[in-house]
């Protein structure tokens, strides 16, 4: 089977004053057609420079707080602080910036919805200005060409800036007389009530039904307690891109053939499962396992074996598995997601 394990931990880290980033794209992880992943750290005041790109950008903050700015296609700005466990979603083409907030900046995971895209090939404000004649800049902005005498000639990408002040002041300064976006581009995933809660753990789902601006990316954040298991299941509508936040896991993926492959996952690792291939994830450690299932789709969908086998005539299931119907009737019901119930 194609390799379905990759890791930020052995990816090249590009370090600059103000922060660093490392990425896993299809160049290193061929199976990952739907997403390219980036792990970025911005120090307090560190700025990921103003830019935009052709892919959507979905993000999960793993540590600290990040101040985001974005302008939508109707000229409506948003400035927001996103803390640990929070998400943002930037649709393709909408310009944005990121900055680490005090006291300790931010670390986060970005998922671009094109496996071939690269964090190092975005459309950067500094690049465009540096490659536009000063006379054109003067005409465009209505100021003398000398205004742009000292602009950077090489792009900044990540650079050290001043630690940002109060959020409300930045929001007011950016707002002017523009309207506000009708829906927020940020969402508190860790703060939401779990969709599923069992003895084995819990699941929180953010897709376009509750995180309304996230129109093309859905996520399930799964917590599995020691000894627990994310039940045998698959997703009928999309490939799954995984990021392991903490703990340790073992995943097996089942394919046609029959083929199957098993790998261990630790924090910083990435998994990838093609649409509709069966899989399950065991917590093999002594602490909680937390991982993200990320999908290029407006709506999270799954099919589980427990649900299928408890909603098929028991005689059919018993004959197929050569077992008795009483055992089948005792299977977990209601799609628990994380076992034990
Ligand atoms: Mn971006
Ligand atoms: Mn899954």
Predicted local confidence at residue 185, as pLDDT: 98
Residues within 5 A (CB) of ion ligand 2: 240, 293
Please give the share of the chain, as a percent, with pLDDT higher than 70.
100
Nearest of 155, 87, 97, 160 to residue 121 by alpha carbon: 155
Separation of CA 276 and ligand 1 centre (Å): 30
Q: How confident is the model at residue 102 (pLDDT cuts 50, 70, 90)?
A: confident
**Residue 119 falls in the annotated catalytic set:** no
Tens digits of per-residue pLDDT, 234-255?
999 999 999 999 999 999 999 9
Q: Where are the domains of the chain?
A: 5-186, 191-303
Q: How confident is the model at residue 144 (pLDDT cuts 50, 70, 90)?
A: very high
- The bound ligand whose nearest atom lies closest to the alpha carbon of 231 is 2
The residue whose two tokens read 């707080």 is: 65
Predicted local confidence at residue 323, as pLDDT: 96
Separation of CA 44 and ligand 2 centre (Å): 35
**CA 154, CA 333: separation in Å to the nearest integer?**
59
Please give the share of the chain, as a percent, with pLDDT higher than 90.
99
- For residue 221, pLDDT beyond 90: yes
Sheet of strand 201-206, all strands in order from the earlier edge strand to the far edge:
5-7, 269-273, 240-246, 289-295, 218-224, 201-206, 196-198
The residue whose two tokens read 């919805």 is: 113
The whole-chain average pLDDT of the chain stands at 97
Q: How many CB atoms lie within 10 A of CB 276?
A: 14
Separation of CA 56 and ligand 1 centre (Å): 8
CB 25 within 8 A of CB 270: no
Separation of CA 231 and ligand 1 centre (Å): 34
CATH number of 5-186: 2.60.120.10
Helix (H, G, I), strand (E, B) or coil at 51: strand
- For residue 9, pLDDT beyond 90: yes
Predicted local confidence at residue 120, as pLDDT: 85
Separation of CA 50 and ligand 1 centre (Å): 8
Nearest of 340, 224, 226, 195 to residue 330 by alpha carbon: 340
Burial track 183-212 (b if 16+ CB lie within 10 A, e otherwise): eebbbebeeeebebebebbbbbbbbbeebe
Q: How many CB atoms lie within 10 A of CB 83?
A: 16
The CA dihedral of 288, 294, 300, 301, to the nearest 10 degrees, is -80
Predicted local confidence at residue 95, as pLDDT: 98
Separation of CA 305 and ligand 1 centre (Å): 38
Q: Please give the C-alpha separations between residue 216 and each of 34, 46, 65, 119, 224, in angstroms, as whole numbers.
A: 11, 29, 24, 19, 26
- The bound ligand whose nearest atom lies closest to the alpha carbon of 54 is 1
- The bound ligand whose nearest atom lies closest to the alpha carbon of 53 is 1
Write down the catalytic residue from 240, 293, 301, 302: 293
- Do the first three CATH levels of 5-186 and 191-303 match, i.e. the same topology? yes
**CA 144, CA 280: separation in Å to the nearest integer?**
62
Q: How confident is the model at residue 13 (pLDDT cuts 50, 70, 90)?
A: very high
- The bound ligand whose nearest atom lies closest to the alpha carbon of 92 is 1
**CA 340, CA 134: separation in Å to the nearest integer?**
65
When pLDDT is averaged across residues 268-288 and rounded to a whole number, the result is 98
**Second-level CATH architecture of 191-303:** Sandwich (2.60)
- Using CB atoms within 10 A of its CB, is residue 319 exposed (0-12), middle (13-18) or buried (19+)? exposed
Separation of CA 59 and ligand 1 centre (Å): 10
- The bound ligand whose nearest atom lies closest to the alpha carbon of 66 is 1
CB 209 within 8 A of CB 269: no
Cα within 13 Å of Cα(196), Cβ side = 24
Q: How many CB atoms lie within 10 A of CB 74?
A: 9
Helix (H) or strand (E) holding 229: strand 229-234
Separation of CA 8 and ligand 2 centre (Å): 20
């Amino acid at each position: 089977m194609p390799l379905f394990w990759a890791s930020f931990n052995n990816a090249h880290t590009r370090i600059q004053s103000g922060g660093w980033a490392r990425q896993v794209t299809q160049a290193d992880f061929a199976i990952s057609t739907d997403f390219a992943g980036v792990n970025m750290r911005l120090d307090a005041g560190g700025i990921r420079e103003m830019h935009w790109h052709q892919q959507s950008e979905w993000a999960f903050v793993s540590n600290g707080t990040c101040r985001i700015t974005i302008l939508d296609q109707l000229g409506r700005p948003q400035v927001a602080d996103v803390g640990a466990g929070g998400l943002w979603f930037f649709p393709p083409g909408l310009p944005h910036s990121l900055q680490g907030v005090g006291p300790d900046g931010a670390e986060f995971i970005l998922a671009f919805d094109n496996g071939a895209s690269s964090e190092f090939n975005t459309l950067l404000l500094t690049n465009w200005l540096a490659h536009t004649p000063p006379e054109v800049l003067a005409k465009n902005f209505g100021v003398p060409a000398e205004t742009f005498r000292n602009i950077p000639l090489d792009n900044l990408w990540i650079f050290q800036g001043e630690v940002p002040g109060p959020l409300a002041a930045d929001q007011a300064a950016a707002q002017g007389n523009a309207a506000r976006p009708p829906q927020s581009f940020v969402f508190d995933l860790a703060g939401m009530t779990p969709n599923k809660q069992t003895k084995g753990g819990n699941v929180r789902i953010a897709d376009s039904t509750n995180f309304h601006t996230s129109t093309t990316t859905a996520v399930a954040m799964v917590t599995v307690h020691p000894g627990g298991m994310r039940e045998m299941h698959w997703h009928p509508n999309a490939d799954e891109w995984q990021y392991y936040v903490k703990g340790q896991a073992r995943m097996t993926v089942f394919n046609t053939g029959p083929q199957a492959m098993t790998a261990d996952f630790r924090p910083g690792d990435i998994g990838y499962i093609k649409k509709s291939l069966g899989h399950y994830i065991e917590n093999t450690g002594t602490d909680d396992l937390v991982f993200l299932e990320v999908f290029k789709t407006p709506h999270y969908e799954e099919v589980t074996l427990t649900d299928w086998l408890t909603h098929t005539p028991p005689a059919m299931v018993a004959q197929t598995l050569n077992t008795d119907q009483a055992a089948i009737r005792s299977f977990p019901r209601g799609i628990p997601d994380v076992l034990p119930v």
